[in-house]
A and B are shown apart, each in its own frame.
Chain A
Amino acid sequence: MAGDVSIKIIGVGNEWRGDDGAGVAVARALREKALPGVIVLEATGEGAALMAAWQGADVVILVDAVRSGAGPGKIHRFDARDEHLPTDFFHYSTHAFSVAEAVELARVLNRLPPRLIVYGIEGKTYEAGAGLSPEVAQGVEQVVERIGAEVARLKVGFDSHTNIE
């Protein structure tokens, strides 16, 4: 079918741990936009489930909260096929097998999707309880915009690249 590129957006996190809910907030905002041809998922970040979730997609955009020491709300973007993810950014503890480990293990096992873009939003607090801090809420809005634009570009880019008619 013309223009059919399967895109999955996966928001990772735990909405009950403060800014860890940033990825989930992005997923929900993007779901409301109902971008055509885009599947939006929420995930806890468990590695095996993530690897299963991105199977079959041409493009996967993954969003998670990160802790790199940058200012709250700062946005990081990685093209995971071209660069390694810094494992200490995505520290989360399901027995140390989370977003970065899943991506790096998938790379070794040749199970990365054709394109994998990872957005990280710098969190401020991960205390128990719902709600994003204002800086992170702003970061979420920006990432929603950027992904919206990126999806539009990707569809065009992917179509011309794969020459689907």
Chain B
Amino acid sequence: MSTTSKPKRTRTLKVDYLARVEGEGALYIKIKGDTVTDAELRIFEPPRFFEAFMRGRMFTEIPDITARICGICPIAYQMGASYAMEDACGVSVVGPIRDLRHLIYCGEWIESHALHVFMLHAPDFLGYQDVIALAKDHPDIAQMGLRLKKIGNDVMTMLGGREIHPINPRVGGFYRAPSRKELNTLVEDLTWARQASIDTLKFTATLPFPDFEQDYEFVALRHEDEYAILEGRLVSNRGLDVPIHEFLDHAYEEHVPHSTSLHAAMKGRGAYMVGPLARYNLNFDKLVPIAQKAALEVGLGRECRNPFKSIMVRSVELIHACDVALDLIENYEQPPRPYIDVKPRAGTGVGCTEAPRGICWHRYTIDDTGIVQDARIVPPTSQNQKVMESDMRHFVEQNLDLPHDDLQWQCEQGIRNYDPCISCSCHFLKLHVERE
């Protein structure tokens, strides 16, 4: 990527406050001649020390405490913590209670993906500053996105008591299980949502995508019987295939000077990607048939290595989540008790679920009275930081001829490919590009 004809010139691209991402951070890119010498996601959201203040709390309190880490994916935290506590105590939740967990998680996927696809990411592709500007020209699209998001919220409210920081899930299941009749009230909306998701995919397939394919290590949960959301083994396209307990034997987290969020990497291999693209590439065969069919029909293919197309993959996952939700409701039998008893015992337990943005890994050690001795959480955004930086480096090098404003716009868009949740990874976003 070097030329001798042009004088070396340093350019800096700066986005001082990246909009439409959760939390606070900045992107800094330094270009010397035709080479990107620095590509840093600078995260300055203050660290929140969640792991420290969970020590000394009862194991049953942890799902509600960790849910506060994020307003957009509280279920990921509640479920990861609940599974970890159940693992530590030697019980497992199966049957209709597990189905309810699967259902509320589908609700979270629907509301989170609908928000990201319509409100946060689509404006980038269509050249609008935000969804309000988009809505002026495309009110139907904005209305569809709002209704989809609302339906996701409704699923979460029905099962969780409210749409943000649900209060009904607990270690062992739920405080209250809904009746069949209650769940049936969701069917009409979810049926609409499934079709709207197919239409969403068709719409996103018409968006202009930069030609940008990368060779990623994808990491996701994989489950024998389903497109893994709640549980599974951790697998990758580079040979990782381990139970979730062994995650930290293969991955590590490190501090970097420019971020208050830890950076995760695979030992001996480096950056890896989690989230919709990783799940899609590793688990396409487990998507419900209607989602597979829709994906192939719009030409997405079984593999996708263009991160900008994550907006299409999220649309496929919307179809999947709606269809699974409908199936869970159709086959639901209200359990005699909404939870199983979980008696504390000394030990360590691990839980890992697929948050909308990727795997969210939890490990807790508790004593025989259930008091938490140690807590460790590896959220999805900290795992994606290295690939976000390498994407920016490669994308800028391939597009040095773009006018400054266009390049800056596409860099922000490139960060939003990951729907980063900086509030989870510690919070986002300023972009600096420096050219020398």
Contacts and interface: CB of A to CB of B under 8 A. Distances in A.
The answer to whether A binds B is: yes
Interface of A: 16, 44, 46, 48-49, 51-52, 93-97, 101, 104-105, 108-109, 128
B136 A108 contact: yes
Interface stretch (B78-86, B146-154, B271-279, B373-381): B146-154
Contact of B115 (A44, A52, A93, A97): A97
Given A49-B153, A95-B22, A96-B21, A109 B143 contact: yes
Interface stretch (B36-44, B127-135, B335-343): B127-135
A52 B143 CA distance: 12
A144 to B, nearest CB: 24
A109 B150 contact: no
Contact of B132 (A44, A52, A95, A105): A105
B163 to A, nearest CB: 6
B143 A95 contact: no
Given A96-B119, A108-B135, 19 more contacts: A44-B71, A46-B153, A48-B115, A49-B153, A52-B150, A93-B22, A93-B23, A93-B71, A93-B427, A94-B72, A95-B20, A95-B115, A95-B120, A95-B421, A96-B19, A96-B21, A104-B132, A108-B136, A109-B135
- Size range of the chain B interface in the assembly: 20 to 34
Nearest to A46: B164
Nearest to B148: A48
Given A52-B150, A95-B120, A101-B130, A46 B139 contact: no
A128 B48 CA distance: 10
B423 interface: yes
21 contacts: A44-B162, A44-B164, A44-B165, A46-B71, A48-B149, A48-B153, A94-B72, A94-B164, A95-B21, A96-B19, A96-B21, A96-B22, A97-B115, A97-B119, A97-B131, A101-B130, A101-B131, A105-B131, A105-B135, A108-B135, A109-B139
Nearest to B423: A93
A106 to B, nearest CB: 9
B116 interface: yes
Nearest to B120: A95
B120 A101 contact: no
Given A95-B20, A95-B120, A108 B71 contact: no
A16 B143 CA distance: 32
B167 interface: no
A97 B143 CA distance: 14
Nearest to A44: B164
Contact of A46 (B120, B131, B163): B163
A4 B135 CA distance: 33
A110 to B, nearest CB: 8
Contacts of B22: 93-96
Contacts of B21: 95-96
Contacts of B48: 128
Interface string B211-252: 000000000000000000000000000000000000000000
A93 B150 CA distance: 18
Given A93-B71, A94-B71, A95-B72, A108 B142 contact: yes
Nearest to A105: B132
B305 interface: no
A90 to B, nearest CB: 14
Contacts of B146: 48, 51, 105, 109
Given A44-B164, A108-B139, A49 B132 contact: no
A95 B123 CA distance: 14
Contacts of B132: 101, 104-105, 108
Contact of B142 (A16, A52, A96, A109): A109
B68 interface: yes
A63 B23 CA distance: 23
Nearest to B422: A93
A95 B119 contact: yes
A44 B135 contact: no
